[in-house]
Amino acid sequence: MTTPFVSIGVPTYNRVSLLRHTLTSLQRQSFTDFEVLVGNDDVREQLSAAGLGISDARFSVVNHERNLGEIRNMNALLGLARGSYFTWQFDDDFYATNFLAEMHAAITSHRAPPVVFSGFRTHYGLGEPRYRPAVAGDAAVSELDGATFLADVFGGRRRAMGACGVYERAYLASIGGIRDISGEAVGLYSEHLLLLTAGLGERVVHVNAPLVSYRDQDASWSGRNLNVELYVTTGLTLMRELVRLANQGAYGRRLGDIAAGVLAMTVDDIVSRMVARDGRVAGPQLAEYVAAVEREFAAIEPAAARRAVAGAVERVRRRRPAAAIVKGWVKRSPPWVQHVVRGIRARLS
């Protein structure tokens, strides 16, 4: 049996209709040297490729005997993969039809880097997408050091999803795959920790084109989860991991920018859920979260790095998370308002 260039792991749980969209986007890839491993974590329903309408030997389904949870399911698929490179795709998201072709071209033209990321776009609602290529090209491909890449991503200048990077499989296995830091069925901030870990490397390649489509829909775990306390505790865990990685010395002069971006992201997540759940921002709780992050950052060495992250904390304290507040009010609004907003976003995207 020949070794495919890339393996795609698709963890799934009780989303057969959306899973079909994901798999269709893979069937329509212009690059064909791949395998797809679907990991079914719903023990109540056995899946098969034939049952999903697929008669293609490159696609296989693994029905787990017990529910593993998202992160263990993802790592189980990594362990079964045969490809030289590996990536994950979630069961409600999908690819542009040239995703694998662009990733392969970037890998071969940049001396086989350990990881290549692409940009992404947001798809609103549950409807079946149009399967089509995304505009890319040579000018869209950049090779950066890991710290610059992270500063660009968390600073909003580039878009990337951690689990949707295409990783050299041996490298991904060497860093332990993807890690669970939330203890939940779905791995909150696990993708961001994977991004931060990939940023330790000297070379990261990024294709600045929306080759992945992330689906924004209310039925998703993140869409309906208003557990503010979970976001506070897991955000703090992510910050501890950032401190651990920063003390390896890899982020250099970009540490302050990276820390500010990661902290602002977690603050926005907390604020939007406070507003959606309670109709207001709980100022004292938010202030205590930022203060707890500041205490964690006190462990960063050397002193110059501590000063950089202290400046990052102050920048986040001074900003007003207006977009997160609006997002929270939309989540709190009646369903018809949410439907209208989603429709407007869909037309603008």
Residue 323 belongs to some domain of the structure: yes
Please check whether residues 208 and 95 belong to one and the same domain.
yes
174 assigned to some structural domain:
yes
Residue 299 has pLDDT above 60, yes or no: yes
Higher pLDDT, 334 or 28: 28
**Contacts of 329 by beta carbon, 8 Å cutoff, 6+ apart:** 275, 276
Judge whether residue 345 has pLDDT over 70: no
The pLDDT, as a whole number, for residue 318 is: 87
Per-residue pLDDT, 346: 59
Residue 321 sits in the same domain as residue 197: no
Co-location of 121 and 265 in the same domain: no
Residue-wise pLDDT tens digits, 140-167: 899 999 999 999 999 999 999 999 999 9
Query: Residue 64: which CATH number?
Result: 3.90.550.10
Residue 313: inside a domain = yes
Dihedral sign, Cα of residue 249, residue 251, residue 255, residue 261: negative
Overall residue count recorded for the chain in this entry? 349
Q: What are phi and psi of 297, to 5 degrees?
A: -65, -20
Instruction: Quote the CA–CA distance of 103 and 98 in Å, as a whole number.
Output: 8
Q: Cα separation of 99 and 67, whole Å? A: 30
Residue 119 placed within a domain: yes
Are residues 128 and 264 part of one domain? no
- Quick count: other Cβ atoms within 10 Å of Cβ 98? 21
Do 149 and 161 belong together in one domain?
Answer: yes
Q: Tell me, yes or no, whether 191 and 291 share the same domain.
A: no
Number of domains within the chain: 2
Least confident of 5-9, 154-158, 318-322: 318-322
Flag whether 340 is in a domain: no
326 and 211 assigned to the same domain:
no
Give, as one character, the DSSP assignment of residue 5. Answer: S
pLDDT higher than 90, residue 187: yes
Percent of the chain with pLDDT over 70: 94
Q: Residue 185 has what pLDDT?
A: 87
pLDDT digits (tens, 9 = 90+) for 205-218: 999 999 999 998 77
Distance, CA of 96 to CA of 329 (rounded, Å):
32
Same domain for 152 and 252?
A: no
Residue located via tokens 């409807």: 127
Residue 281: is its pLDDT beyond 80?
Answer: yes
* pLDDT of residue 225 exceeding 80: yes
Minimal CA–CA distance to 6: which of 37, 27, 49, 39? 37
Nearest one of 159, 158, 167 to 116, comparing CA atoms: 167
Output the pLDDT for position 331.
76
Count, in order, helices (H) and strands (E) of the chain. 13, 9
pLDDT at residue 229 is higher than 80: yes
- Please tell me whether residues 167 and 267 are part of one structural domain: no
The pLDDT, as a whole number, for residue 223 is: 75
The closest alpha carbon to 139, from 105, 168, 165, belongs to: 105
Return the higher-pLDDT residue of 333 and 189: 189
Domain assignment of residue 202, yes or no: yes
- What's the pLDDT at 236? 97
Average pLDDT, the chain: 92
Residues 270 and 183 in one domain: no
Provide the domain limits for residue 311.
226-330
At CA 121, angle to CA 319 and CA 232, rounded to 5?
A: 40
Q: List pLDDT tens digits, range 11-55.
A: 999 999 999 999 999 999 999 999 999 999 999 999 999 999 999
Is residue 349's pLDDT more than 60? no
Tell me, what's the pLDDT at 214? 93
